[in-house]
Structure 1
């Protein structure tokens, strides 16, 4: 039996495991991280590479190591001459990823790894039992559910039939093992958030004919995906005093800058547009059909768009992460949930005896930043407080 099982080895789970190991809250042999992939943060590294991201949106102090200045020290140590960009010192993606890999090697995270899909979570005999799709069972005194939302990509209704008919011609950025194709012409990217913008820019820079970026609203230019005030007491003091979880959910929805892009990305897109490498369309897709390998998009207010490949950056399905198996756990153990269906947890993100959450599952406590890197750091800090420092044997 393990002392702790972390379900999910993405940014959230890897950060929490790293902090617990770094701060001597747990030993390697007492920790198990269960994730569908072979390596920590596989989804993050695959998706960011796929869309062509070069620099993160977050500032230099948002990374996985407990020391906020660790990434800056790493850049100096490894002699990254272009490690950061802009006023907020946004880190270079490759440097950030290498920093993560070195941290994981230092703390021995891979030694705690188990590849598999979780299918059930139950509590009996004073311990948690985790079932995998392989029918293996693992037991632990404590569990952290740190799963993300990207395993269930949202596919617009108009695109469903196209995907069935032309599976090789329609790609969602969250889909597993689907790298962005080298498009010569006729590509279209749907929805104007930051992922779509990155994908459009990446395709436009190597295509021989213009790429089309379709977005539903005018560009929303924001430095971050929510106001920095949500990182500290400026907004969180009032948030934590609010007892209504419906009100908290409303604030989370209002705080997130959904579909926004950074100023530097906006400048890049406009530059590509001026070079006639990118066509930017602000409109909604009403329907679609295909003929002879081509995709025809019916727009609400503008002319029909024809493409030979469609990249969807339409985000993930709304709803509770891991709902397919977590809903049974909620029902069986009467776990407290808000009207929106998300967990009600305490300050240490404890949902029940020995059960903790992070990421989207913790956002009613952590706030709007809960799903991103800053939220992972906040979750790790809180959960660490629930585990006492281990005595050092002499």
Structure 2
């Protein structure tokens, strides 16, 4: 698969989206997610083969572009794009050396991460646990020419709520420890006991997304039923393209009110759009609207279109432009914090798990509570527990 597209007119597509309620306008696009400025724009152009301006950039500008590419996780992509278009010669010797060090480091981490993934999946398979590999780790194997160019800080696995306890036992037996809560954020982190930076950080998700609006949009049974083989990974399966694009769009949209969104997430969406045919995208768009996340998907694919000129058929835009269908109170309630809490209590497999969820939400350990509020004196604890309980009730029992 080639990571690129030709430049063509965006006007009709943008006008289509601008007419829909709640969608980003052109002025909003320029200010959301990245506060897009020259370095990001230059990166996008190079990654999509629009390199005419590169040779006219100053060394200082290229220094800035290199720094920005690292922050957005696209430095590997940028390096190989420059190499492909014979533009590495325009870099200074120091810039080339720095680039190559980062690429070498990233390749080494990739090998260690691949070994860790194989080992963990094999161990879980022996316990009849079938995790679905999701997010960057999966896309690196399915949609990137070089898996090492998809920068990611961890491996994300999606499991059934009923498999949480056995997964913890298995991960502990594989040399991992779990530093934080298990249930509060619908995921838990597994860190390698080895004192190194080998990429052996694994996040285990038992909901597809942490936000109440998106958390139940893809259930584990549905993800498993429509899963596909993960190339080159024993026991590895991943989301089908429709589910992968849905998750990528929801993930990006979840950061739209922050400054933490990254260009690599938009590029994920670009590659997925580039690989899916019109019929598949139409089915995907209809599914997104049915799941009441069409607006989030619209905003995210507009980002990909705006920055990478991603190919999106007009028919898909028309579907996502439609007003969300009328839904019952029950459907609306299921996407609220309270609705999700009730679903969590129903789906967790034991009374012990449900009790731990309540403890994590309202009664964290004294040390964790002091750390959360950046206090050291334990005399603060009565006040902090009152505050934690009140805030927890307001947040978790809300209809939003």
Tell me the TM-score normalized by structure 2: 0.27
For CA contacts below 8 A with separation 6 or more, give which structure has more relative contact order.
1
TM-score norm. by structure 1 comes to: 0.27
Could you say which structure has the higher helix fraction? 2
